[in-house]
Chains A and B, each alone.
Chain A
Amino acid sequence: MDGILEGKNVCFAYPGQEPIIRETSFAFPRGGLVLVRGPSGAGKSTFLRLLNRMETPASGSLAYKGRPLDSWDPVQLRTKIILLQQTPVVVPGTVAKNLLLPFDFAANQHLSRPTESAMEQGLSEFLLSGVSLSDHASDLSVGQRQRLCLLRALLLSPDVFLLDEPTSALDPESKGAVERIAEHLCLDHGLLVVVVSHLDFSARRTSPLNFSLSRNTLEESSR
C-alpha cells in the first residue's frame, strides 16, 4: 500500500451497538478522486469522521503519509485532512470574515492570512465571481455557501478533502459546479479528494476510484 491515506482492517461501533464499519482496508493515493457510494445509513459519514479523528476506530489502523493517524497532533491533522460537512456551515458576518475564520485558530498561525485579492481570486476560481467579500455569508444560496466552505478549506493548503454528501442539497447546476471544483482540486492542486454520496458523480476530467460502502464494509466497485 502506498497511499497518502490508508486504512487496515478498520472497525467502528458506538458503545453497545452493532458495528457500523467492519474490516475495512483501503489505500487512497495523493491527487486521487475517490468516490464512495452507499445507501443512507450505511456509515458513510462515520467513515469520513474516522479519517479526521472525529471518531476513533474500535480496532484496525489508519495512517496518513505512512504514519499512524493517532501519532499526529489531532488539531494539526485537521488542517491537513479537512472534512466538509453535509450542510455548509457559515458564521454570521461577511464572506471575508468567513474565509479568514480559520486563521484565528492557533494551529493556523504559521500560515499567512490571504490578501483581499487572493480571496477574490479564490472566489472566481470557485465559480463565485458574482459574490463580493463584503456580502453577508448568510445571504448566499446553499450552493454558494457550499463553494465558500470549499474555498475556506483550500486557503489552509490541506492535503486531503473529505466531502460528506457535498451535492445532495444542491440543484443540478450547483451540483455540476461542485463536481468540477472537486476535479479541479485533484488535478490542479494535487489533493486527494474523498467524496461520499448516495448520488452519482459525473466525472469529466478524471477517472475516479470507485468504492461502495454497503453491508458495513468498503469494497471497490466498477463504477
Chain B
Amino acid sequence: MIRGLPRRPAALAGLVFLLAEIAAAALAPVLPLSPALSGNIADARRGPSLAHWLGTDQLGRDTLSRLIWGARPTLLDTAEAVAVALVLGIAAGVAAGFAGGRTDRTLVAVSDVIMAMPGMVMLLVVLSIFATHMGYAMVALGVLLTGPFMRVIRGATVAVRRELYIDAARMAGLPERLIMARHVIPRIRGTILVQGSLLAGMALLLSTAVAYLGFGTQPPNPSWGLMIGDGAQIMGSSPALIVAAGGATGLTVITLGLLGDGLRDIDTERWGIPRRRPPKRPRRPRSRGASVTQGGPSMGVDDSSMPFDLLRIEDLSVAYGAREVVSGVSCHLRYGETLGVVGESGSGKTAIARAVLGVLNGGTVTGGQIVLDGRDITDIAGYTPDQRASLRTGYIAQEPHASLDPTWRVGSLIAESVRRHRGVSRAEARRITIGLLAQVHLRDPETVARKHPHELSGGMAQRVAIARALACQPKLLIADEPTTALDVTVQAAILDLLREIQADTGMGILLITHDWGVVADICDRAVVLRDGQIAEKGTVTELYHRARHDYTRELLAANPALLS
C-alpha cells in the first residue's frame, strides 16, 4: 500500500511530516537544541527570531526545543493507547466478524457498553489511582477506543468472510485461526490502517487534554498539553507559544487524517472494481445531413417523422465528461403511441430518457435536438421547476422503492405532485390522490395512502409510482425499465395497467427496456440501440419478422421463445 503513496502528494506529505516528527523526537538528545528545561529570563516571551526559531516561553526557554522534547511523552502516550486499541480491536473485531453467532453477539454487547461509558471520566478514575503514571491511563484510553474501532473491523471482516476464497480455504481444511491470520487480516489491512490513523488522532487529542489538566508529565518537563497551558498564560503579550504548541498538535492530527484518507483511496483502488476506461471509439463526423441515415436502413413510410409527433429526437448526442454515451440518435413518438427503446445495459437507452427529462446528473446534451409537443426542449436541463412542470411529462423508474421518498407517506407524496400540477386545495388534492390510487387498481386506496413506501410490495410500489406520474396528467410518460425489478406475473399486470391508462388518456409512452417480451407486449414501434447509436428501427412486427441488422437478430436469439 505504501507503494501507492507517491501518487498522492497530500498523503505522502503527511507521512513525511509524521516521520520527521518521530525522528526529531527520537533524536532529541543528540540534536543541537537549546536546553529545554532552562532559559535566560531576559529572553522571556519572545516571538520567533534567529536564535529562537519559534520564540520563547515565560521563563525564556526555547519553544522549538521544548516542542521536540515534549513530543516524546506526547507521541509515546499516543502510541501506547493506539497499540492497545489496535491489538484488542483487531483481535475482537476479526473474531466477532468471522465466528458470528454467540461470540459475535457477546463481543458486540461488550463494545456497546464500552462506547456508552463516559470515556473522559473513566480516564480520570484511572488517573486518580495512578496519578503520575500516564501508562495505565493510556492503556485505559486504548480500551475505550477499542469500542468503535472493533465495530469497524468487525464490519470489514463480515464483508470478507462472504467471499469465495474464504470458503475455499475452509473447505481445504485450513484451521480457522490460520484463515483469519493469513487471509482475513491481510485483506482488511486497508481498513486497519485508515482506522488506525483516525484512532491516533483521537488518542493524541485526548492525551494532550489529560496532560493539560495536570496529569502525567509534570513541570518543568515539557509536553504539548502543558505547553498549551503555558502559552495561554502569556498569550496576551506573546502569542507565539500557544500558536506553536496548538499548531504542532493540530498539524499532527491533520497529517494523520490526510494519511488515512490517502491510504483509504489506495486501498479502494486496489481491492475495489478497477476504474473502467471508456472504450475508445472513433469520433463520428458531426454533420446533420449524414446522421439521418446513421441509424441503418430506413423502413418504409410507417417510420417517417411527422410534424405532429408528440416527441421528436433528432441527431441527439449525450456525453458524460469525455465519454459519449449517445451518438446521433434520431427517433420519434406519435400521440397515443408506445415507442420501445431497446438495448443491452450500457447501450445508452437510459441516457436518452434522462436527456428528455433533463436530469442527466452530470452528463450534457452535446448535440442534436429534442422537440416535445412542438416545443424545443433541448436545453431542458437549465429549465426552472415551473418550466419543467408545464411540460407534463411523467416518469416511472426501474426500482419503485428507490424512486419514492422513504420518509413520506404514499398519499402525501402523490398529493404533492397533484397540488404542484393542478393548483388545487389540500382537500381537493387528497380526493384526486385517492382517485389516482384507485385508477392504478390498488385495492383500498385510503389505507394505501397512509402507508410508507417500504410497507408496500414491489408491484404495489410501482403502481404508486405510476399514480404519482399520472398526477401531472401526462402527455408523455417515460418508463425506464418499469417491470425489470418485478416478478413475472406482476410485470404483465403493470403492462396491462399502462396500456389501459394509455387508452383512457391518449398519452404517449417512451418505454426503455432490454426485454423483447415487453416490447412485443406493449410497443407499437421500437428502436434498437447499440453503443449509443441506433442499430435498427421499425414497427415491432417488422423487427421480429425481418430483422435486418445482425445485432437485432442476436438480441432476438437471446430470447428464443419469442421467435416461435
Do A and B come together as binding partners?
no
